[in-house]
Structure 1
Amino acid sequence: MFRITARTVLELGSELISSDIIAFYELIKNGFDAGTKNGVEVRFDIILTKAIGQRLAREAGKIDQAAENSAQLLKELKAIVDGEILESASKEALTSFRALIDAAATPAALVDALTDGMRQFNTITIKDTGSGMSALDLEDNFLVIGTGSRKKAIDAALASGTDKAPYLGEKGIGRLSAMRLGEQLHVETAKISDTHFNLLEIDWRIFNTVDAMLDEIDVKPSLGELKPFPDWSGTTIVISDLTENWFKDRVFEMGDREFSRLTDPFEDPGVRPRIAVFWNGDRVPVASMSRSLLEAAHAHVSGKYSINEGEPSLKITTDIADLGFPHPREVRTIVLDRADLEGAIIGKDDHIDDRALIDVGPFEFEAHWFNRRRLPLKDAVGEKLAIRDEQEKWSGNLLFRDLFRVFPYGEEEDDWLELDRRALRRSGYLLNRTQFVGRTQISRITNPALLDQTNREGLRVTPEQRVLLLIMRFAVQDQLGQAIGEVEKQYKAQKIDLGDAQKQVTRMEDRAKTALTRIRRFSPPDAEEAIADIQQTLAEFSQFAAQARERIAQVEQEGRQMVEMAGIGLMVEVVAHELARSTESALRALEKLKDADVPDRLRGQIATLRAEMKSINKRVRVLDPMSVSGRQRTELFSLNQLVNDTIAAHASQFERHRITPIIHLPEKTVRIRAVKGMIVQILENLISNSVYWLDIRGKRENFKPEIRISVGSSPPTLVFEDNGRGVAVENQEAVFKMFFSLRDSKRRRGLGLFIARDAAEHHGGTLNLDDYRDPQTGRLHRFTLELPEGLQQ
């Protein structure tokens, strides 16, 4: 059986309670868990600040008692001590402290009096009027570290179906918070059924005995005085021998900045749990958030995540109020059901179990964005309110459980929504954490899987915690960012930033070249011809990518062509990814075979790679008309043949994803005069979307993925559909908006369908998502490209 040393308790306290405000937070929460009837009071009673007291003790230590003037110096120093005493401290503390100082007859005695007086009479008191504790409660619960009593009560509440948690905490370690604040702990408590107070005294220093075992430390409750009246109940915790230097400005600053954020400041003051802080009897203001601050925000996003009859849904509303240039107020709402959430939040990498979408439970959030450079002073309720200062004070996206703070979310150095990292890569308006004032609300009962880490460094890392983070990042980074971007695009001239795509293509090329160099080293001599073919494909792609990049740079200032370049960049990036994936996949296989005597299998691997490279070569050649010179050149071509060539170019990709393409072409070929590259781009973007969503459905259901393409004439028409998850009816038009995407965060671009529709409209045609609802999914699956009659030849 394990035995525990006494000093382990001190180690636990120092590791688990990492700051003063968390120590207060734990002790305050205990009061609310006890059902306090009028909140919790925190009282600082400081007779002499620790820093001044220690300085005066050092001065007393310098007095030479043998010197002739020592008595005079001692008297003068006592006068200085008296002048430093805080007269606002309690009368009892002042009287006792002055008695110690006056009784000091020598400099050494004055040093002891200063030290002992501050240890005894500088105190912090946390008081509640809750249910209190009996002597048995002190013995069996308070003195049991990690007690399971609250955990059992919470589990029972969860099982009963109640909507209110009986306790805020459950770990049974909150009492260790007291040791963070001071070495001495005095507990005075009673239940209604008690006639006397129950007392507990703990000197945390005795736990620091090196060889002492925990069971050797004798700490027991005792019986105190009679209660003031029979139905009195509650708990008073007095902490002394304080470890920190407490002074008025520091406590008032904590009231303004830290105590004010322990409970949800977005709520009406009448709803917020009452925390009253006092400094030497004077009430310390605990700040409340002004609604005027939120009304002054330049943009807002809010959302509600719900679980209805076992199905998750997410509703997000964005409100773009004022971006600093003329535009109407733009309020938009998007609703995501399970299918959309599986694509946007879970993705296709299998890092999170789908069940987490349910187990995370319902929650709500709001975030208000401020362009800090444009924050003025505004009048609010008849007084000048410095909006900038208020925004700075409340900045951060806070997390609250049952109205109480979950640390460290929203702290100055915490970037849990990864806003700063994304802001570095974003052009235009930055969305960084200091510009937001926001909150997310969860509950112990409705979100039982979202538990705090024991060290208060955030939620435990679980699939449900990951879902919460991804939903919040999706709403704030993507949806709000997208809404701002759309307003910018519509009402203010903007450029499309292709820097990310260009860097990505360069990285993919480098990866492919590196892999190919190593493949040469592992390959048998008779594979040289195949390697040469692969090298040629890579060279052709590199040349194509370089031309695209060069042209992008040339037209960087031209509005419409920037959209065209975005399309090229998107497609080049897709092909670059395929190129890197193919070469690296073959390299991994070859490395496994390099020491084995399996030349036939080795040749087979080279042959497979060669086939994939030929497929990529076809894709490069199909994409070649998408170059700017090609895109702007109208030519006569067969729509039938273009579909066949495009499908052939994707053959290895379809095989890898187990997708069956089903093509219906008319017997008489449909010939059109159009910009071939644009038509290719439309088809490529539709295929790219389908592959992703077919993968999503395939990972969660047993079905055979299919893509169906049909071509018609009079007018020239291309109908494209798949049997994936489809598109929600409410997003029928949204999917064509710039930056709208419900793919996971790694693959979220939001340009493909926007560019595809733009290409269709360039020809006077249309690209729409049909109203037809699939009987199985109830969603939209069918895209129709219709070109004008005049294009058919």
Structure 2
Amino acid sequence: MFRITARTVLELGSELISSDIIAFYELIKNGFDARTKTGVDVRFDVVLPRRDYLRLHNELVESDDVVAAKEIVKTTFLPNASASARDGYAAMIDDARAVDELLQLMAKAQSRFNSITVSDTGSGMSREALEQNFLVIGTASRKKAVDAALARGDEETPYLGEKGIGRLSAMRLGERLRVETAQVNDGNMNLLEIDWRAFEDVEAMLDQIPVEPRIGGPKPLPTWSGTSIIISDLTENWTEKRVRDMAEYEFARLTDPFADAATRPRVAIHWNGQRIAIPLMSAALLEAAHARVAGEYEVIDGSPALTCTLEALNLGFDHPVEKAVIKLTAEDLQSAIIGLDGDIDDMALATVGPFSFEAHWYNRRRLGGIETIGEQKAVRELQTKWSGILLFRDRFRVFPYGEDEDDWLELDRRALRRSGYTLNKTQFIGRVNISRTANPMLVDQTNREGLRETSEEKVLLQVLRYAVQDSLGAFMRDVEKQYKLQKVDLSDAQAQVMRLEDRAQAAIRKLKKLTPPEGDIAIEDLQQTLFEFSEFAARARLRIAQVEEESRQMVEMAGVGLMVEVVAHELARASENALKALAGLKGKDVPTNLRAHFNSLQAEMKSVSKRVRVLDPLSVSGRQRTEIFSLNELIRETFEAHEAQFERSRVTPDVHIPDKDIRVRAVKGMLVQILENLISNAVYWLEMRKAREPSFNPTITVTLDGKPPIITFEDNGHGIAQENREQVFKMFFSLKDTKRRRGLGLYIAREAAQYNGGTLALDDERDPHTGRLHRFILELPGATEV
């Protein structure tokens, strides 16, 4: 069987308790677990700070006047230290008859009379409880109680802690520990003293270190109960300034500062008898936010749902207060949070449990004075102090989320790549609320440095990123578009296209080295396609520059950019797939297989070439030139260009085109753009459903009717929730996963339809099976039928 060395206790303490505030957190939490009636008090009683002691020691080591040395030490005492501590320290050093002896007695006094006491008026511990629970590392009593509460479905957990190792946090603060405790029925105090240095013996086993509880003197009152954890021989330099700074920042954020003061758990900090105030969150500061998002994540009858409320209050230009509500159902969350390539199981969307959050955004340059806070500088400093999005479980902080150096929602990293509003973490004040019973799968790492990495933890992160990074940012940009002239920065899309071109070029170079002579035709086709695409992309980029100042530049620039990226992706994917296949055949005598692969490659290249030719009207200078063309032929060519994609995704296209040719006068490229977007979206959602339902048969149905020309487009995927019928057409709104989230496609498609005198809408007829919307209707009354 295992035996444990004594120094293992020290290793556990040093590894698990990584900072002073976490040590205090563990001790304070134990007080509330003991059902304290008056909260928890943390008292610092410091006669001589460690730094002053070390300075005096160095100065006095050369002295030969012990009387003068004693006076120097006493005059250095902090005057507001408790009388008992000052008198005790002075009495101990008064016995010194030489400077060497004085230095030895100073070390003993320093160890004994500087202390930190964490006390509560909870249930306390009996002598037996000290021995059987406090001295048992990893005791299971609280763990069993928490598990029972979870099994019963209780709304609250009986304990904040359950691992049975929090008591080791005392060693972080000092080398000596004294526990004074009693229960209501005890007549005397129960005492326990530990010198952690005794565990440093590398040869000693844990059971060889004598630690024994004993009975002490009488209780303060016959009915008194509670516990005092007294830590001495302090290892840090504690000063009033340091304690005040911790109260201002760390202790202020230890329990939920957004909660009402009357319901917030009481924690009181004292420095040498003086109460140090712990600030509350300023309601006036929250009201001064320029935008905000609040969310409720619910699990109702096993089905998850997210509701986000977005507000734009003052974005720096004239606009009314704008408010929007976004609701995501289970199907939407599967896409937005997990997506096609996600490594999260769908069940985690439910097992993560319900939680809530709020995030208040500030444009720090526009923060002004607030009457109840002060001038502009004071307001900015206060906003900086509270900045960060904190995580709380049952009203107590989960570390390290929201710390200055912690970017757990990747706000700063993504802000560097984003144009327009830079939503970095210092601009937010916010909180996330979870609980032990409602979120049993969101548990702390043993070292208290964050949540364990699980599928549920990933869901929590992705939901928050979707709400704070994407939804709020998109909403603010949409408000700006409505009330302020806004130009679109397509630098991200252009950079992506250039990367895709580079990937395709690199793949072709490697292909030429791998392929036998019979593969030359396919490689030539691939190179020709790449050449055609490069010309197409170059013309598109030129067109972007040409339309930059035009009134309809959003439709122009974003439309061209998105379509170029689509084709670039197809080209890169096809060439890399070919490279992968050929690389696997290198050195093998398999001419038949090679021929089959090259045939497949040629088919892919023909498909991509056809896509380039179909999309070409998007990029030429005649992009907005109306022309007469056949809608029948345009639909047919567009769907033929997607044959390879439909085959890969196992999508069955069902195209209904009348025998009579319907000819219209319109901008051909814009109609192509609309169809391309609808197809791209449909394939994504169909793949999402197919991945979850293997027997599902994906279908896209398109119908063309005349007088006026109407194109009806629908698929049998999960559909769109009624609440999002208009949201899907808003700029930057998207329910796709992070890799594919653009939020411009349907917005541009509707703009293109309107430019041609038509409308693009989502039919409000619900599918009887899904209860959601599946049918887009493109009506073109302005595109006069010829």
**TM-score normalized by structure 2?**
0.98
Give the aligned partner of residue 775 of structure 1: 768
What do residues 58-89 of structure 1 show as CA deviations (whole Å, max 9, x unaligned)? Answer: 111122xxxxxx23xx3333222122101211
Distance across 1 between alignment mates of 2:259 and 2:375: 22
Identify unmatched segments of 5+ residues in structure 1: 64-69
Distance across 1 between alignment mates of 2:4 and 2:61: 40
Q: Is 1:725 equivalent to 2:713 in the alignment? A: no
Q: Is 1:707 equivalent to 2:725 in the alignment? A: no
**Paired residue for 1:467, among 445, 459, 465?**
459
Give the aligned partner of residue 778 of structure 2: 785
Q: CA 1:565 to 1:210, structure 2 compared with 1: closer, same or farther past 3 Å?
A: same
Distance across 2 between alignment mates of 1:384 and 1:278: 31
Give the aligned partner of residue 757 of structure 2: 764
What do residues 721-756 of structure 1 show as CA deviations (whole Å, max 9, x unaligned)? Answer: 000011111111111111010111111000000000
Give the aligned partner of residue 346 of structure 1: 338
Give the aligned partner of residue 399 of structure 2: 407
Name the amino acid aligned to 1:290. S
Name the amino acid aligned to 2:767. D
**Paired residue for 1:147, among 119, 139, 144?**
139
Give the secondary structure class of the aligned counterpart of 2:448.
Answer: coil
Give the secondary structure class of the aligned counterpart of 1:386.
Answer: helix
Report the CA distance between 1:389 and its aligned residue. 1.8
Q: Is 1:217 equivalent to 2:209 in the alignment? A: yes
Give the secondary structure class of the aligned counterpart of 2:128.
Answer: helix
What do residues 672-712 of structure 1 show as CA deviations (whole Å, max 9, x unaligned)? Answer: 11111000000000011111111111111231000000100
Report the CA distance between 1:384 and its aligned residue. 9.7
Give the secondary structure class of the aligned counterpart of 1:447.
Answer: coil
Q: Is 1:128 equivalent to 2:120 in the alignment? A: yes
Distance across 2 between alignment mates of 1:521 and 1:498: 36
Name the amino acid aligned to 1:275. V
What do residues 147-166 of structure 1 show as CA deviations (whole Å, max 9, x unaligned)? Answer: 22211111100111210100
User: CA RMSD for the aligned pairs?
Assistant: 1.4
Distance across 2 between alignment mates of 1:738 and 1:790: 25
Name the amino acid aligned to 1:2. F
Give the secondary structure class of the aligned counterpart of 2:370.
Answer: strand
Give the secondary structure class of the aligned counterpart of 1:97.
Answer: helix
Distance across 2 between alignment mates of 1:166 and 1:438: 27
Report the CA distance between 1:612 and its aligned residue. 0.7
Contact kept? 1:495, 1:559, Cα under 8 Å: no
Give the aligned partner of residue 609 of structure 2: 617
Distance across 2 between alignment mates of 1:200 and 1:514: 71
Distance across 1 between alignment mates of 2:204 and 2:641: 75
541-550 or 353-362, which moves further after superposition? 541-550
398-407 or 230-239, which moves further after superposition? 230-239
Distance across 1 between alignment mates of 2:203 and 2:469: 54
Distance across 2 between alignment mates of 1:324 and 1:445: 42
What do residues 590-621 of structure 1 show as CA deviations (whole Å, max 9, x unaligned)? Answer: 11111322121122112111111110110010
Q: Is 1:534 equivalent to 2:526 in the alignment? A: yes
Distance across 2 between alignment mates of 1:597 and 1:379: 83
**Paired residue for 1:555, among 521, 543, 547?**
547
Distance across 2 between alignment mates of 1:790 and 1:676: 11
**Paired residue for 2:430, among 417, 426, 438?**
438
Contact kept? 2:41, 2:269, Cα under 8 Å: yes
Report the CA distance between 1:551 and its aligned residue. 2.4
Give the aligned partner of residue 66 of structure 1: none
Report the CA distance between 1:430 and its aligned residue. 1.4
Q: Is 1:114 equivalent to 2:106 in the alignment? A: yes
Q: CA 1:515 to 1:111, structure 2 compared with 1: closer, same or farther past 3 Å?
A: same
Report the CA distance between 1:656 and its aligned residue. 0.6
Give the aligned partner of residue 31 of structure 1: 31
Distance across 1 between alignment mates of 2:377 and 2:160: 35
Give the aligned partner of residue 607 of structure 1: 599
Report the CA distance between 1:265 and its aligned residue. 0.3
Distance across 2 between alignment mates of 1:722 and 1:471: 27
Identity %: 63
What do residues 644-695 of structure 1 show as CA deviations (whole Å, max 9, x unaligned)? Answer: 1111111111111110000011111111111110000000000111111111
Name the amino acid aligned to 1:771. D
What do residues 177-221 of structure 1 show as CA deviations (whole Å, max 9, x unaligned)? Answer: 101000001111122232222211111111111222222222221
Q: Is 1:453 equivalent to 2:441 in the alignment? A: no
Name the amino acid aligned to 1:399. L
Name the amino acid aligned to 2:39. G
Give the aligned partner of residue 418 of structure 1: 410
Q: Is 1:269 equivalent to 2:261 in the alignment? A: yes
Name the amino acid aligned to 1:185. L
Distance across 2 between alignment mates of 1:628 and 1:368: 45
**Paired residue for 2:163, among 161, 168, 171?**
171
Distance across 2 between alignment mates of 1:711 and 1:25: 67
**Paired residue for 1:749, among 742, 746, 760?**
742
210-219 or 349-358, which moves further after superposition? 210-219
**Paired residue for 1:322, among 305, 308, 314?**
314
Contact kept? 2:368, 2:375, Cα under 8 Å: no
Q: Is 1:243 equivalent to 2:225 in the alignment? A: no
Distance across 1 between alignment mates of 2:217 and 2:233: 24
Name the amino acid aligned to 1:784. I
Contact kept? 2:369, 2:375, Cα under 8 Å: no
What do residues 468-516 of structure 1 show as CA deviations (whole Å, max 9, x unaligned)? Answer: 1011011101111011101111111111010110111111111111111
Give the aligned partner of residue 479 of structure 1: 471
Within-5 A mapping of 1:571-582: 571-582=563-574
Contact kept? 2:118, 2:230, Cα under 8 Å: yes
Distance across 1 between alignment mates of 2:740 and 2:210: 61
Report the CA distance between 1:355 and its aligned residue. 0.3
**Paired residue for 2:497, among 505, 511, 527?**
505
Contact kept? 2:539, 2:620, Cα under 8 Å: no
Give the secondary structure class of the aligned counterpart of 1:673.
Answer: strand
Contact kept? 1:344, 1:743, Cα under 8 Å: yes
497-506 or 551-560, which moves further after superposition? 551-560
Give the aligned partner of residue 18 of structure 1: 18
Large movers: runs of 4+ above 6 Å? 381-385
Within-5 A mapping of 1:282-431: 282-380=274-372, 386-431=378-423
Report how many aligned residue pairs link the two structures.
785
Name the amino acid aligned to 2:33. D
Report the CA distance between 1:559 and its aligned residue. 4.1
Distance across 2 between alignment mates of 1:57 and 1:290: 45
Report the CA distance between 1:789 and its aligned residue. 5.7
Distance across 1 between alignment mates of 2:449 and 2:624: 56
Distance across 2 between alignment mates of 1:134 and 1:172: 17
Q: Is 1:255 equivalent to 2:247 in the alignment? A: yes
Name the amino acid aligned to 1:503. A
**Paired residue for 1:524, among 508, 516, 519?**
516
Name the amino acid aligned to 1:770. D
Contact kept? 1:316, 1:475, Cα under 8 Å: yes
Identify unmatched segments of 5+ residues in structure 2: none
Name the amino acid aligned to 2:136. V
Give the secondary structure class of the aligned counterpart of 1:791.
Answer: coil
**TM-score normalized by structure 1?**
0.97
Distance across 2 between alignment mates of 1:350 and 1:439: 26
